[in-house]
Amino acid sequence: MKYHIGIFPKLEEIRNQINTFKFLTENPFSLKMKYVDIPTTFREVIRTIGHEGAINCLSRIGDSQFISGSSDTSIKFWNLEDEELKPYECINKFTGEICCILLLKDNRLCYTSLEDSWIKITEKIKTFKKGDEINNSDDKYKVSNTLSEHTKSITGLIQLDNNNLVSASRDDKIIIWQIDNFTQVWKKENVHFYNNEKSGVYSLCKLDNNNFISGGADGKIKFWENINKNEYNCIQEFGEHNNKVRNLILLQDNNLCSASDDGYVKVWTKKDKKYQLYWEKEIKDEFITCLAGLKNGNLITGSSSTKHGIYANMRIWEKIGNEYCLKENIKKHLKKITAVMELDWGNVVSAGEDGIIIIWKSGVLYD
């Protein structure tokens, strides 16, 4: 049955380009279609439940593949090229609630849990292919190493340009690991110390040249510069949030975006090696749970009400000039949204404590 493409504004202009997609008439919202953003709403394409509990984290591992970690103690692999979005088991029933996951450049997988302070390094023992039997419960990764220098649960993992692994924890420590031989090469303690109730590092963001940024329980953001091989100095402290900085990301224009439990979203631009406030927005009576930057320059925030636990919003902010203007507010998750990210082909993935994964699209098709 033909899909009447003329219902979208401006679509007639690119009718000839759209006709080059042989499967357009069968599936106008195909996950492999490229999109250009114009003022249209986000469309929910697929909704699925693949975990038995809350989903705590997502990590992109390919053009249309990602992994999810859950309170059900499992890690699962998702491939949007499957006709039905069903998960493969990566790590099945680990000993604790998964809180951080990261795919290293050599395809090893790192993950941590809320119940302990270890980082598990795994080796890949199976390559996922389209058509694999997804009901096989055998693990696709096996643990090869354990890093155990932290004393509280780990809140952030990033990999630098030199392949070193950086970990941050509620114990208020940042540790850098050389993963070739699994040795600790740099450690900084009392990074964001304020008092016993407001200490801990809660977020990390990778920069170029082996530099990185950390966000803490004291509301401060710190810019760490690599001064020689394994030495770092904090060259700037900024932020002025009033609560835990749980989210730090780089946007498409390399501006830094931070978000906190105080309900503020802030964008910072770097000038002469220093970050300056570019834009800020307070979302009253809510705390920010996740951030995502889109390739078109827009910003996504996930937030939850400080008064009503089941109240969750996913807001789309469109960059217009020097401002981010609210384009849309989506209320499809039943509980707190924990992670949002963009894949290729214009796909956006969101996950939450409701255990639901949703794939979204926005815009108009182009070749």
Q: With beta carbons less than 8 A apart as the criterion, state whether 190 and 199 touch.
A: yes
Site of tokens 């849990």 = 113
Between CA 240 and CA 137 the distance in angstroms is 47
Nearest 5 degrees, angle CA 67-CA 203-CA 228?
105
Between CA 332 and CA 263 the distance in angstroms is 20
Return the pLDDT at 229.
87
Per-residue pLDDT of the chain (367 residues; tens, 9 = 90+): 333 333 343 444 444 444 433 333 344 456 666 655 544 568 888 888 888 899 999 999 888 899 999 999 889 999 888 777 888 878 766 668 999 999 999 888 899 998 889 999 988 766 555 445 444 444 567 888 999 999 999 999 999 999 999 999 999 999 999 998 889 999 999 998 766 566 899 999 999 999 999 999 999 999 999 999 889 999 999 988 999 999 999 999 999 999 999 999 999 999 998 999 999 999 998 999 999 999 989 999 999 887 765 678 999 999 999 999 999 999 889 889 999 999 987 889 999 999 999 999 876 544 4
Return the pLDDT at 30.
60
* DSSP 8-state code for residue 205: E
* The model's pTM: 0.85
Q: With beta carbons less than 8 A apart as the criterion, state whether 351 and 343 touch.
A: no
Return the pLDDT at 217.
92
Residue 6 φ then ψ, to 5°: -70, -5
Between CA 335 and CA 83 the distance in angstroms is 27
Burial label for 284, CB within 10 Å (0-12, 13-18, 19+), is exposed
200: its two tokens: 């801990």
Q: What sign does the dihedral 87-89-90-94 (CA atoms) show?
A: positive
Between CA 339 and CA 182 the distance in angstroms is 29
* DSSP 8-state code for residue 193: -
Return the pLDDT at 139.
52
Helices and strands per DSSP (H, E), number in the chain = 1, 30
Residue 105 φ then ψ, to 5°: -65, -25
Q: What is the CA radius of gyration of the chain?
A: 21
- Quick one: fold of 31-365? Methylamine Dehydrogenase; Chain H (2.130.10)
Name residue 147's amino acid: L
Burial label for 288, CB within 10 Å (0-12, 13-18, 19+), is buried
Return the pLDDT at 95.
66
What's the 3-state SS for 12-64? Answer: HHHHHHHCCCCCCCCCCCCCCCCEECCCCCCEEEEEEECCCCCEEEEEECCCC
21: its two tokens: 């997609």
Return the pLDDT at 128.
52
Return the pLDDT at 186.
97
Return the pLDDT at 126.
60
Q: Which long-range contacts (CB under 8 A, 24 or more apart) does 184-191 make?
A: 184/147, 184/149, 185/230, 186/230, 186/231, 186/232, 187/149, 188/232, 191/216, 191/222
